[in-house]
Structure 1
């Protein structure tokens, strides 16, 4: 049973998933979201994604934004120049990034974070794999 990569809902068939993605999240086709994210974060630009996955520029932006990879065009520009994106709040992020780390609950506990702690995350590439780096939110003075 396929699972929606954004909200985690389990669906009966892949056709049902495609319909769900379109109706609930506005994504027209089913793509390999993780591959798109890894390609983008490892330096492939939007046009590279368009050619490789045969998607429109809007679809590419949409996917990257919904995965929590980019929050704004300035993030995208920073990544394109080989920089890193700053930290994003993990507690307020709905869908994909939150689900990876916090739905089981126990893995955050193992990392030493409490249940209602303010956390932030960023994507990091190490050993050709995508990792989510998590830290406690630093207090602003």
Structure 2
């Protein structure tokens, strides 16, 4: 019985530590600008790997910077090769000729970047800290 109590105590003491190890993810930060030198000031960037299927994303800050997260904020992404998509739109509300409110949105980047299948953007995440900047075409 004494051995059982010791084993039970050891199990209860160690159980909270399960899952506290390193995730093995690499930090990924960067800045997004357009080819005409404008900062992409808002939106979302998403890294997607094909095998295994993993996705990590980040909100794009007003200064064009991002920091990838896969589960927890800022936890990065596993090392590997990724396809990248960037969606960045500004929404505004204005009025029409009849005084009604009309919502409009304007993309800050070319629409091809909204899907990993058409963006042609790729990234290689290496173990450790990564700075991956993107320069993309403005909207047409």
With structure 1 as the length reference, what TM-score do the two structures score?
0.21
Greater strand share, structure number: 2
Greater helix share, structure number: 1
With structure 2 as the length reference, what TM-score do the two structures score?
0.21
- Rg larger in 1 or in 2? 2
Higher relative contact order (CA 8 A, sep 6+): 2
